[in-house]
Amino acid sequence: MGLVKTIIIKLIFFLKIYNLFHFLARYQITILYLHGIQTDKPSTWQPLREQTTLTELSNTLTSLSSQYTFISLNKAIQILKKEIPPIKNALVITLDDGYLNNITLGAALFKKFTITPTIFVATEHTSCNKPFWFDRLDYALQQITQPEFTVKLQNKPFTFNCQNRALLKETYQQFRTKIKREFTNDEVMRSYLDKLCHKIETTTGKRLTDIISHEENACLASWQQLKEAQQNNNFEIGSHTVNHARLALSTKETIEFELVKAKDTIEKKLNIPCSNFCYPDNSYNNESLEQVKKYYSTALTTDVGLNKIGDNLLRLKRFNIPTAHISEKVLFKISALRQFISQ
């Protein structure tokens, strides 16, 4: 099936079908996102979540540079607001969560392609170099030496299969999906996860918190490092709440706190205006949209699609950054043609 798909995509490019749709969508803006960037060498801890390696990122940016013009998020917003003329086939790179590797590994590569990326930071995690729950749990689970580990989830047992990495990865993903479905309040979920992680860490005697300062897959950029990235490497900084909170599952008071405190912290720490926001876990609803509108001029989702003048600036669409060994596959994954087919 993979070979057939490759042949079809090659044919699409050979017959110039891709070129036609790319031309027709030339004034729409493409926004991509990624999280951490990994080296190609083995690390002390290999996250179970899919990561983008430096080589994959380099290959992807090379492919994209043949068809797109890289612009900053702020310039894209100016275009969408009709403040400046459109730029043909404009593409924006964004980075969620604020990992230090976005700077240490990514900065030189972004500079090579004249890219001004935007990092969205969760300010409490940035201030304290506090691991996100999904990294903390991931690391904790990988320290378990017994074949199975059972926990209580809403008074029902859930078993992590720790026999090998593939099985653990599968059950870890199942667990992440399940808790997001089971908990209707984000603060309650985060409290439960904190207790769960503590339980596992007490059992194994190992904590991600103890090694995070030199763990390249979990360490977060400090305010000083973000300031230097902004000043020396043209990074833009945006808000990702205080606690990486899912706004659609938060109270009105919590939403207010997460939005205002994050904005205020970024502006004071970096001495810059903060008007761009990104929804953690793509969690938003009508109430949170109204709250976001009070404090930010734009907000980014992970809803898939291209952006055009007239779109809701509080629901800008993004693609997960595409990776593939074949350039045509990279370009096809985020193409107007693929969007047309999927509709």
For all residues of the chain together, what is the average pLDDT? 95
Residue 229, helix vs strand vs coil: helix
Q: What is the pLDDT of residues 199-248, one digit of tens each?
A: 999 999 999 999 999 999 999 999 999 999 999 999 999 999 999 999 99
Q: Are strands 156-161 and 236-239 parallel, antiparallel or unpaired?
A: unpaired
| Amino acid at site 164 | N
Hunting for tokens 């490092």 — which residue is that? 225
Q: Supply the DSSP string of 62-82, one letter for each residue.
A: HHHHTT-EE--HHHHHHHHTT
d(CA 244, CA 123): 8
What are 13-34's pLDDT values in tens digits?
999 999 999 999 999 999 999 9
Comparison of pLDDT for 84 and 5, the residue scoring more: 84
Q: 113: closest CA among 182, 174, 73, 63?
A: 63
Helix (H), strand (E) at residue 30: strand 30-34
Hey, how many other C-beta atoms are within 10 angstroms of the C-beta on 223? 17
- Could you tell me the pTM of the whole model? 0.96
Does domain 21-128+214-342 bear CATH number 3.40.190.10? no
Residues 157-173: tens digit of each pLDDT: 999 999 999 999 999 99
Burial of 310 (0-12, 13-18, 19+ CB in 10 A): exposed
* pLDDT exceeds 80 at position 343: no
- Distance from C-alpha of 319 to C-alpha of 98, rounded to nearest angstrom: 18
